[in-house]
């Protein structure tokens, strides 16, 4: 490893040629003027002795095609052996003969920003081009997984091995590992585009992502019934909050024996959910929209006459969504808040949309005994119900707001009725052939085959 170096035009100080050794360098004494000793084994290597007694190993070289003499400081005497410094000097001279200037490369590396400082500029650029929620996800992933291991490194010093080690450290969470890898690929592409790294040197490109299991969950009709009953209860009577999941394991303590006279632990009071939060959840069940598309729906986007909603800004850009009669009836029944532009306004701040319905969703999910069901699974379930009713995939893609048909094709495996019909047709032909067989077929044994 080499240390910072400098350049100069001519070497003017007195120079003596000797074979440098560790003992020789250690015994050198300072003089009134600075002087140098040149290594006879590697002529480019010099040891420079200052009047103060400081001894420094350096290398003198000329880059191919240039007459300028460059000096590159390798390090102080005693920090490394002369043999190691001699090997560094030989490598620098070899590069110089190929036209590579080690001192210039060092200055370029020193001027390169750290990953942490450039990531601030990268997020600012993302904020202009991408959705706010995407930028929030990038910042969260950076803070959780990337800032400490590679933040202090210079952008030019990060290698594929560094990225692979970071990716491997997250192997127990393949989804998080792959998202961190994708973020690094995008970041270093930005660094290359802005001249902070050489082209075609993205250190994240050669790291293979982990295999991810598709997290698809579809509601059955019976599960949907339980969910709707729980939702009705939340709207009329109220539901207790769902129990919180603690990441820390509770210590194994024997449960205390309660006396018969001990008062019962009071349960938290139940409060009926508001019409807007319940309405937002019902709307998601009916339409299969993305959560934020429903929560931020505005009244001026709804065309009551045509039963059409125009969303100006979605994940896939501007989108027009026809709504069924049930969804339109739900919107018509939602009480409007005076002065609010949103169909589902916040209970506390009606001039803003509902921030989230996570607490209501968890309570309803817990009451329906569907602990593994995610809110996004409601979207998958809407697609499965539509397929079961015979709706074509392109129409379902329009309902869900998919931009590309390939996205909707992920639900094609649910349409298994034609495949089942084809299998039954093959079986019918085989049964017919078996029924028309007149005489039984005697199996050919191994002995009869040998005779034949």
Q: What is the pLDDT of residues 45-84, one digit of tens each?
A: 999 999 999 999 999 999 988 888 888 888 899 888 999 9
> Is 337 within a domain?
yes
| pLDDT one-digit tens code per residue, 275-325 | 999 999 999 998 888 888 999 999 999 998 898 999 888 877 788 888 889
What does DSSP assign to residue 294?
H
Angle subtended at Cα 22 by Cα 17 and Cα 28, rounded to the nearest 5 degrees: 60
- The verdict on 233 and 346 lying in the same domain is yes
317: Cβ contacts below 8 Å, ≥ 6 apart: 403
Q: Describe the strand order of the beta sheet including 55-61 as a list of residue ranges.
A: 15-18, 35-39, 45-49, 55-61, 70-76
175: Cβ contacts below 8 Å, ≥ 6 apart: 212
Phi-psi region of 170 (alpha: psi -120 to 50; beta: other; left: phi over 0): alpha
- Residues spanned by the domain of 142: 115-193
- The verdict on 181 and 106 lying in the same domain is no
The domain that contains 328 carries what CATH number?
Answer: 1.10.443.10
- The verdict on 120 and 98 lying in the same domain is no
CA-CA distance, 268 to 63, in Å (whole number)? 79
- The verdict on 103 and 136 lying in the same domain is no
- Number of structural domains (the chain) is 3
> Is 311 within a domain?
yes
CA-CA distance, 34 to 304, in Å (whole number)? 91
Residue carrying structure tokens 């998080």: 176
Long-range contact set of residues 329-336: C-beta below 8 Å, sequence gap at least 24: 330/279, 330/282, 330/283, 330/286, 331/283, 331/302, 332/304, 333/279, 334/275, 334/276, 334/279, 335/275, 335/276, 336/299
- The verdict on 283 and 396 lying in the same domain is yes
> Is 426 within a domain?
no
The domain that contains 161 carries what CATH number?
Answer: 1.10.150
Identify the helix (H) or strand (E) that includes residue 319. strand 317-322
State phi, psi for 121 to the nearest 5 degrees.
-65, -35
Determine the pLDDT at residue 273: 85
CA-CA distance, 341 to 362, in Å (whole number)? 27
Cβ pair 1, 85 in contact under 8 A: no
Neighbours of 323 (CB within 10 A): 22
> Is 452 within a domain?
no
Say if strands 70-76 and 302-303 run parallel, antiparallel, or are unpaired.
unpaired
The domain that contains 32 carries what CATH number?
Answer: 3.30.160.390
Say if strands 15-18 and 35-39 run parallel, antiparallel, or are unpaired.
parallel
Determine the pLDDT at residue 67: 85
What share of the chain has pLDDT > 70, as a percent? 79
Boundary residue ending a domain (111, 128, 144): 111
- The verdict on 99 and 127 lying in the same domain is no
Neighbours of 370 (CB within 10 A): 18
CA-CA distance, 366 to 320, in Å (whole number)? 34
- The verdict on 304 and 390 lying in the same domain is yes
Cβ pair 191, 165 in contact under 8 A: no
Determine the pLDDT at residue 166: 94
Q: List residues bridging with 18 in a β-sheet.
A: 39
Coil, helix or strand for 353? strand
- The verdict on 181 and 239 lying in the same domain is no
Determine the pLDDT at residue 7: 41
Q: Which residues of the chain have pLDDT under 70?
A: 1-14, 103-111, 199-200, 214-215, 245-271, 406-407, 409-424, 433-434, 436-452
| pLDDT one-digit tens code per residue, 162-176 | 999 999 999 999 999
Determine the pLDDT at residue 9: 40
Determine the pLDDT at residue 348: 85
Determine the pLDDT at residue 66: 86
Q: DSSP for 18-66, please give it.
A: E---HHHHHH----SS-EEEEESSSTTEEEEE-TTS-EEEEEEE--TT-
> Is 416 within a domain?
no
Cβ pair 93, 43 in contact under 8 A: no
Neighbouring C-alpha atoms within 13 Å toward the C-beta of 238: 8
**Residues present in the chain in total:** 452
> Structure tokens of 3?
């240390």
The per-residue pLDDT of the chain, averaged, comes to 82
Determine the pLDDT at residue 8: 43
| pLDDT one-digit tens code per residue, 244-258 | 765 444 455 445 555
Cβ pair 63, 44 in contact under 8 A: no
């Amino acid at each position: 490893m080499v240390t910072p170096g400098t350049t100069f035009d001519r070497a003017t100080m007195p120079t003596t040629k000797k074979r440098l050794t560790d003992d020789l360098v250690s015994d050198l004494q300072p003089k009134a003027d600075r002087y140098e000793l040149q290594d006879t084994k590697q002529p480019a290597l010099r040891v420079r002795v200052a009047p103060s007694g400081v001894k420094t190993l350096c290398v003198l070289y000329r880059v191919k095609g240039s007459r300028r003499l460059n000096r590159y400081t390798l390090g102080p005497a005693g920090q490394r052996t002369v043999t190691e410094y001699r090997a560094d000097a030989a490598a620098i001279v070899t590069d110089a003969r190929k036209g590579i200037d080690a001192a210039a490369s060092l200055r370029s590396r020193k001027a390169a920003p750290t990953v942490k400082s450039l990531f601030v500029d990268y997020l600012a650029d993302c904020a202009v081009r991408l959705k706010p929620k995407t930028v929030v996800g990038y910042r969260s992933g950076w803070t959780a997984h990337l800032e400490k291991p590679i933040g202090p490194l210079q952008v030019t010093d990060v290698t594929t091995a560094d990225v692979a080690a970071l990716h491997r450290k997250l192997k127990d969470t393949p989804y998080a590992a792959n998202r961190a890898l994708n973020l690094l690929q995008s970041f270093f592409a930005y660094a290359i585009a802005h001249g902070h790294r050489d082209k075609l040197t993205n250190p994240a490109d050669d790291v293979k992502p982990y295999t991810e299991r598709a997290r698809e969950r579809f509601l059955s009709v019976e599960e949907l019934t339980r969910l709707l009953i729980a939702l009705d209860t939340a709207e009329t009577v109220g539901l207790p909050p769902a129990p919180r999941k603690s990441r820390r394991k509770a210590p194994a303590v024997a449960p205390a024996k309660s006396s018969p006279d001990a008062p019962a632990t009071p349960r938290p009071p139940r409060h009926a959910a508001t019409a807007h939060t319940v309405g937002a959840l019902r709307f998601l069940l009916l339409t299969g929209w993305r959560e934020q598309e429903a929560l931020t729906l505005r009244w001026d986007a709804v065309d009551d006459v045509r039963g059409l909603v125009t969303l100006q800004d979605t994940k896939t850009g501007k989108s027009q969504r026809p709504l069924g009669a049930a969804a339109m009836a739900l919107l018509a029944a939602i009480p409007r808040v005076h002065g609010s532009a949103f169909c589902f306004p916040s209970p506390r701040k009606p001039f803003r949309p509902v921030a989230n319905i996570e607490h209501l969703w968890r309570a309803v999910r817990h009451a329906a005994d569907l602990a593994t069901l995610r809110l996004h699974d409601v979207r998958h379930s809407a697609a499965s119900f539509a397929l079961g009713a015979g709706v074509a995939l392109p129409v379902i893609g329009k309902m869900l707001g998919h931009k590309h048909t390939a996205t909707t094709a992920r639900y094609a495996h649910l349409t298994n009725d034609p495949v089942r019909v084809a299998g039954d047709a093959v079986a019918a032909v085989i049964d017919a052939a078996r029924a028309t067989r007149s005489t039984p077929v005697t199996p050919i044994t191994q002995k009869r085959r040998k005779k034949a």
